[in-house]
Amino acid sequence: MTIQAADIAQRRRVATILGIAAIALVAGMFAFNHWLESATQGMDTTHLVASVRRLVAACVILMCACLFLLGRHLLLRGRRIVRDRRYPANDARPLRDTPVREGDEAVRIGNASRIAGLIACLLGVAVAVVGWFWIAQFG
């Protein structure tokens, strides 16, 4: 069985991006906590509810965007795997050493990726619909 070697540069890029994202999320959490403490003291209830509603709407939009991007990635990756009949696809840069699968086994992996992509997109739609109704309850 052939092994496709890991792309060390890609691994470093992913680790760097994940580290930056984690730091940004922690900073955002502290900033939101600070804002919420000051907002509860300085705003009346109506304005506070309106502000929180906008923040919830932004979070729902971001969740939908993440799900749609993940779904798109999985759909495109699955299509490429099925087209090449090879997993990982010819142009993939894996983060770890990956055994190469070809033929029907690769097509099964590609189809599973496509199904997962479709599920992620459907979840994005579901989050949008539920978020729409949930946000409507605030106002």
Q: Any idea where the domains of the chain sit in the sequence? A: 3-138
Q: What dihedral do alpha carbons 22, 24, 26, 27 form, nearest 10°?
A: 160
The alpha carbons of the chain give a radius of gyration, in whole angstroms, of 21
| pLDDT above 80: residue 82 | yes
In the predicted model, what is the mean pLDDT of the chain? 92
Phi, psi (degrees; rounded to nearest 5) at 96:
-140, 165
Whether this model's pTM surpasses 0.85? no
Non-local CB neighbours of 14 within 8 Å, separated by 6+ positions: 95
pLDDT tens column, 2-59: 999 999 999 999 999 999 999 999 999 999 999 888 888 888 888 888 888 888 888 8
Residue 64 is predicted with a pLDDT of 95
